Structure 1
């Protein structure tokens, strides 16, 4: 790579670093406080959930995944994704097979009647609670069962009536919290509003039931051939239905969160560039583009580029990936990293893709051609929520030597 090419965006560097540091990167005090609240609340809820014998038997641990724990969260640390990892007993003989939808599998229990976790302990209603009539693990039944377990656990806390809804009150040694719950897709979202050490805390925790399996249990298809499984020897299946497909309760989405966390680790400017692209996505109202789709673009790029690419300037990495984002939108195709036959944008209407491109292309064009820092700074103001006010880059920029203000 010629020096001139990767220094082409040097004039953007102070602006991007300022945005990343002041408006995108998470506040450390907020992170510490909210993590303590999360641990307090989760401990109490899981204690109540474990009173359900079947949940207590299946539950292994909580897995902290999603943008926050990958270091990709933008704005405030007030949303958390937690997988509740469940293990099916070996003697139930779970067999995983590929489904008709790439990226999704079916889980069949060959010996569902012999369901036991501990010697002498059986659960005769297991098949009715979690399996369909042919002993396939059912997403609808698992989610219904999980909802009942969580609801009963929350009902153990004090219930307050407010505007026709029931709010749960949880009192701990360090705080008082008011809890509500909503449901979207496979997640049960705990909405927390309270006081921790006299500081107001508002946060959402998404709880998703997942089943964990060993890599060796993957079906014989493209997944097994992927060398990145060597990083971690487990994968998860999530009760998330495919988009734009007839609903199939037997379809479970594959999840390789542990492997992805290893892949994006220690990659220089990769994470800051993802955060900036997500901020641009948010400020431009690209609601159809999930954070995972942006992350997937970067996962593919890890395969294609020299590892040294991620150690270039943030401005160069960001602009390169912004143009990659444009190309994927033009193709209306972001292949799932773990099975490229699954297009993550298969549901996206062409008109929607064109509308998103109408916001991206002018930004790229202006950043490619303009050397007016004031003009550029106003363009980057899109990254910043209105509540935070306009960007204040000029103190930093005016102190730079002339040759660093505009790259010739």
Structure 2
């Protein structure tokens, strides 16, 4: 299991009540997985398990694994998202049924519920605390199987469907570990990212701007800026990234960092992009006129929040009714 998302990146700007976990599925004979670039969906790959199945059919220790994998591939031996997810759903359902959908710890009984949305299998808790955990499956692939030449670590193939194009055998290539390396230890980067996320959170017409979209803006900026850029005043960094956000919305285009041919904004309708563009443009000038914010790096979330509150007061209700 690997934490992902805002909590793992130390970018959560609210009390953490949602957690993202990738449970990494490591197949036997992983070196024999044929990774094929999906020519129709940028940033995606297909997984051909023909060679894996050919080898493990004769391995006694993998009798059950072979039977299960055989059920989850197409006639062309490509791993099927629907069949994989259906099997995982049955596993989650059985596991919860086996414990009667509840756990007892320190004499406190907690009821669990299960739901499925997109690639995630979600387990929710309502009492005594309310939180949820999204379990997203990822097929572990070795670095030599990456479709990019610069990958030096294991990576994952995520069964993440696109709204605009659907393919039952197309997996999103995910390099989360490398992304985390790119944004860590860069002074004001994470503070600026938190502030822009907070801006998103308090404007209802910005709800289509996913956290990963904001992170992508920072990945692009981090890839082209020297280290000293992130040591400039937080106000300056925020304005630069806010400008990047504005430019991307004006162009209606946010390229996926690992394959610029994929426009992440394609999944947002025209009206959603228009709403976000108007919201950002209406605040951009106020941000550009603000030069007093010169706070250096603060790791603690509440110090960042305190700085943000000062920001609010100075720019005349730019951010209002913030609650953590």
On whether the aligned pair clears a TM of 0.5, the verdict is yes
SS in 2 for 1:105: strand
Q: What aligned pairs does 1:4-403 form with structure 2 within 5 A after superposition?
A: 62-90=1-29, 93-100=32-39, 101-111=41-51, 112-115=53-56, 119-123=60-64, 124-158=66-100, 168-173=101-106, 175-194=108-127, 200-219=128-147, 223-224=148-149, 226=150, 229-230=151-152, 233-245=153-165, 247-285=166-204, 286-369=206-289, 374=313, 376-381=315-320, 384-385=322-323
Q: Deviations over 1:39-94 (max 9, x none)?
A: xxxxxxxxxxxxxxxxxxxxxxx111111011111211111111111111117931
- Secondary structure in 2 aligned to 1:379? coil
Match of 1:48?
none
Residue 338 (structure 1) shift: 0.9
Residue of structure 1 equivalent to 2:301: none
Q: 1:82 to 1:174 in 2, by over 3 A?
A: farther
Distance in structure 2 (CA, Å) of the matches to 1:202 and 1:90 = 41
Residues 1:97 and 1:147: Cα distance change in structure 2 (over 3 Å)? same
Aligned residue pair count: 301
Indicate if the aligned counterparts of 2:202 and 2:320 stay in contact, CA closer than 8 A. Answer: no
Tell whether the 8 Å contact from 1:130 to 1:142 is kept in structure 2 after alignment.
yes
For the 8 Å contact 2:162–2:267, the answer to whether it is kept is no
Gaps of 5+ in 2: 293-311
Preserved contact between residue 31 and residue 142 of structure 2 (Cα < 8 Å): no
Larger mean CA deviation between 65-74 and 144-153 belongs to 65-74
**1:117/1:378 Cα in 2 relative to 1: closer, same or farther (>3 Å)?**
farther
Partners of 1:301 and 1:118 in 2: CA distance: 48
Q: CA RMSD in A?
A: 2.2
Per-residue CA deviations over 1:105-128 (Å, capped at 9, x if unaligned) read 000012324436974441253244
Query: 1:403 is matched with which residue?
Result: none
Change (3 A) 1:236 1:280: same
Does the 8 Å CA contact 1:299/1:337 hold for their aligned counterparts? yes
Whole-angstrom distance in 2 between the partners of 1:263 and 1:375: 32
- TM-score under structure 2 normalisation? 0.86
